[in-house]
């Protein structure tokens, strides 16, 4: 099944009431590790792409300014229930993260936690939101990927038909998403499910993204 915004709005309307109490707990260690890796400082501006129910928001250190973007009004409603947070200025925006929804080069940090495998066009999502990042700014990715050197098997393709019904693609490679992008991988470590999920720190290089 090909993922679309229309389908994602539907499936995440179903996920919204139960996400935090179910899979949200499973992903929490990966989210926490991703944000720890950034070493955020007071005063930094942070863009959270696919903020969902706002599971990352309480993990942000005090003193940061954050903007969270998500397609699903139902997920954003859950995120809004986590606000306000002490000494954190948080704004939530509904919109398509495959398009730039904020000012270019306005953020010190971009967080891509569990979004690049669920959005219809992961390449567009990554590159559009890296445009919001200052040159030499940092971005973190916590997500699941098919290892770059692994062949996409028929069995995995068939499993992906089912996984996309639940709003996630299990066939994407991180190397394909960043191919040609003007970024540098700073750190790449295994996370959940024996490294199926990764925590990847990247830096935006000076100049235009290709």
pLDDT tens, residue by residue, 79-103: 999 999 999 999 999 999 999 999 9
The rounded Cα 187 to chain-centroid distance in angstroms is 16
- Tell whether 31 is covered by a domain: yes
Whether omega before 101 lies within 30 degrees of 0, making that bond cis, reads no
Using pLDDT thresholds of 50, 70 and 90, give the confidence band for residue 210.
Answer: very low
φ/ψ of 41, rounded to 5, equals -115, 150
164 lies in some domain: yes
Looking at residue 69, which CATH number applies to its domain? 3.40.50.150
Q: What is the pLDDT of residue 50?
A: 98
Q: Is the residue at 169 inside a domain?
A: yes
Give the range of the structural domain holding residue 45, as residue numbers without chain letter: 5-204
* Owner of token pair 């970024």: 183
Residue 81 lies in a domain: yes
Confidence class of residue 209 from pLDDT cuts 50, 70 and 90? low
Q: Is residue 115 predicted with pLDDT exceeding 70?
A: yes
Answer whether residue 17 is part of any domain. yes
Q: What total of structural domains would you count in the chain? A: 1
For residue 68, list its beta bridge partners: 48, 92
Please check whether residue 210 lies inside any domain of the structure.
no
Of 77, 144, 80, nearest to 114 (Cα)? 144
Region of residue 180 (phi > 0: left; psi between -120 and 50: alpha; otherwise: beta): left
């Amino acid at each position: 099944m090909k993922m679309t915004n229309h389908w994602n709005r539907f499936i995440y309307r179903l996920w919204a009431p139960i996400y935090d109490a179910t899979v949200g707990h499973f992903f929490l260690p990966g989210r926490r590790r991703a944000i720890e890796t950034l070493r955020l400082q007071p005063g930094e501006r942070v863009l959270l792409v696919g903020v969902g129910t706002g599971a990352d928001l309480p993990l942000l250190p005090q003193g940061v300014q954050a903007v969270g973007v998500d397609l699903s009004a139902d997920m954003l409603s859950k995120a809004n229930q986590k606000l306000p947070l002490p000494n954190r200025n948080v704004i939530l925006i509904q919109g398509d993260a495959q398009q730039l929804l904020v000012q270019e080069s306005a953020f010190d940090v971009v967080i891509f936690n569990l979004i690049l495998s669920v959005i219809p066009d992961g390449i567009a999502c990554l590159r559009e939101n890296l445009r919001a990042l200052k040159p030499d700014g940092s971005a973190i990715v916590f997500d699941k990927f098919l290892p770059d050197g692994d062949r996409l098997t028929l069995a995995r393709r068939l499993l992906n038909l089912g996984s996309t019904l639940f709003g996630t693609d299990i066939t994407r490679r991180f190397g394909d998403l960043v191919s040609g992008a003007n970024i540098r991988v700073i750190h790449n470590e295994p996370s959940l499910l024996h490294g199926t999920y990764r925590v990847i720190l990247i830096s935006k290089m000076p100049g235009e993204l290709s």
